Amino acid sequence: MIKKHVLFLLCAFSASSSLAAPLSSEQSNVPTDEAASSTASTAQYQIQHLEPLSWWVGMEEPSLQLLVHGKNIGELTPSIVSNLRGGNSDSDVKLVGVQRVDSNNYLFINLEIGKHAKPQTITINFNQGDKVVTSYPYQLAARQENHAASQSYGAKDAIYLITPDRFANGDPDNDSVTGLIEGPSRDKAGGRHGGDIQGIINHLDYIADMGFTQIWLNPVVENNQETYSYHGYSATDFYNIDARFGSNALYRELSAKGQERGIGIIIDVVLNHAGSGHWWHNDLPTKDWYNYQGQSYQGTNHKREALHDPYAAVSDKTVFSDGWFVPTMPDLNQRNPLMANYLIQNTIWWLEYANLSGIRVDTYSYPDKAFLTEWTRRVTNEYPNINIVGEEWTTNPAIVSYWQKGKQTHDGYQSYLPSVMDFPLQDALIKGLTNQENWNTGLNELYRMLANDFLYPAPENLVVFLDNHDMSRIYTQLKEDQALFNIAMVYLATTRGIPQFFYGTEILMSNPGTDDHGIIRTDFPGGWQDDKVNGFNNKGLSKAQKASKHFMRTLLNWRKNTPAIHQGKLRHYGPENGVYVYFRYDDNEQYMIVINKNTQDTAISLERFDEMLSNANSLMPIALNASSLTKPQKANGDLLIPKQSAHVFKLN
């Protein structure tokens, strides 16, 4: 157990004391005399932040670098004392170096944690000469057993993307928090609406029932910005959950309760930038903590092509990587080794602390390329089976594929990134369903984009999607055409890759007439007590919304239990006359998927597909919705497909 004096120390010297994991029975407590020296800290030397907040023994990487921030702390000399019985001789934890930086209010302490180190609390003493001025208890815990990242997410899964502020308000008491600037304003599209982690916990059963097996949350770390703080991409504290969402302990509870229901939690990591309200912003450790630090504002040009263009100007490459997104999002300089290590350790800390199943990385290509290699290498070294998907927002598959692990790149660059977001296929799917059918347009655009899979080392591990929090919802993109919407859902669930769905897609949420992100990320109906419509229990939903929800539940749960669909091979045939046919199959089962985009019933000759149908006696329709065929079909001759529909047949 943690005795009172340890708890007092944690509260006195850490802004995030409640985040430390519980001590194991092998650990002892900080001696009383050392606790007394800690409380004797003078106003001249105050520890305001020490990060990472805690760490673990048994990590693959033995080095640990602590960032210490406090008034004049750079004037002091740290030392460590083990609190295991036997003192330092049993500790196997050593202080191997101290780095002082431009600001006198920082110290970077380098520790080495031996492979035989036991879980323990060490005391970090800060000394002035022979005098201990202040002390800090630091926990080294035992690692998670059977970590969720050992399974991670893959093609077997269906990901549910949630913007936490807009999903469900499970705890109205935290809508406004003292010390955090922006309060609730649900009437504003860009304001905070009150959704939180408790709201997600309250609806885990709903998410599981729908057939989703992973949740990707937009970032939930503190964003203490004046406006637009709800989206989470302007971190002001990398180690604290925003109190308007809950707490670190509640985030860990979400992960645990999700796992009980077969749902993993994917963390959204931002490596490129922070928020201008970050606690370090007005007292930066070094003169190069940010890119363009101390200079006039320079925004990124977003020209990701410059990284690959053989004719690109060096200045274009520099401005792309080093320029800021907006004036309130300072660009982090990952070429600074202290910053690089800070970001790497922060990612690992959250994975281990909350037992998370995987990672999504925002704006993946914007940080320093060498840093990205080292970041992914370090993370995958600790979690060899973890899946990490990077966001490279371009419709050019040559550029997207550049970042996937195993790619033979044009410049010899080595990446360790397992997955990328398949923006090219998303764009092709929309064009395929909305453009007029011709010899090279319509479904042919979708077919041709999938044919580019030779560019990817592992196309089956790409994350495929119809929309996300940064683009119009799929129902809007398809002009609220229910038939095309159903086709899109079937395609996403049956093509190769890992499907991701945006919250509310199941009930046809839309953003007609606007691309305002605040409207795109509108509230899920029923997530607030006074909502008249409830998407969770169907109260007030239209007939079309109820049908769509039932269809998606049926589709995703069928997919989850059909390995040939999510892990089998894929074979497709070039679209003809507005009909696209492809197969998913393994050694045990074969499925035929037929998309008819035409506005009339269309007959197709099955002789064309003899390569796949030669051993089939019949085609058994999978009943997914009211438009599905229900009777077994012959595996030869002609097959009549109803207008504007997608059908799945099991080959018997």
Catalytic residues: 362, 391
What are the residues whose beta carbons fall under 8 Å from the beta carbon of 457, sequence distance 6 or more?
401, 404, 405, 406, 407
Distance CA 347, CA 336 (A): 17
123 DSSP β-pair partners: 81, 137
Give the number of other CB atoms < 10 A from CB of residue 310.
Answer: 6
Distance CA 195, CA 434 (A): 34
Distance CA 438, CA 597 (A): 12
107 DSSP β-pair partners: 68, 100
Please name the residue that has the structure tokens 């985030």: 251
Distance CA 573, CA 592 (A): 11
Burial annotation 83-109 (CB, 10 A radius, 16+ → b, else e): bbeeeeeebbbbeeebbebebebbbbb
376 closest CA partner among 395, 352, 358 = 358
Q: What are 463's two structure tokens?
A: 């994350």
What are the residues whose beta carbons fall under 8 Å from the beta carbon of 602, sequence distance 6 or more?
577, 578, 579, 596, 640, 641, 643
For 408-434, the DSSP string reads --TT-----B-EEB-HHHHHHHHHHHH
Reduced DSSP (H G I as helix, E B as strand, rest coil) percent helix, strand, coil of the chain, to 5:
30, 25, 45
Distance CA 625, CA 490 (A): 11
What are the residues whose beta carbons fall under 8 Å from the beta carbon of 33, sequence distance 6 or more?
none
308 vs 125, 405, 415, CA distance in Å?
A: 49, 17, 15
H or E element in which residue 518 lies: helix 517-520
Handedness of CA 525, 519, 422, 487 (dihedral sign): positive
Distance CA 488, CA 440 (A): 20
266 DSSP β-pair partners: 216, 358
What secondary structure letter does DSSP report for 62? -
547 vs 49, 262, 265, 456, 520, CA distance in Å?
A: 52, 25, 28, 37, 22
What secondary structure letter does DSSP report for 237? E
352 with 360: CB under 8 angstroms?
no
The edge-to-edge listing of strands for the beta sheet with 131-141 is: 55-56, 131-141, 120-128, 77-82
Q: What are 336's two structure tokens?
A: 């600074």
Helix-helix angle 423-434:482-494, to 10 degrees: 140
Q: What are 637's two structure tokens?
A: 């001759």
251 vs 79, 201, 245, 278, CA distance in Å?
A: 33, 9, 9, 21
Please name the residue that has the structure tokens 């707490």: 247
What secondary structure letter does DSSP report for 233? -
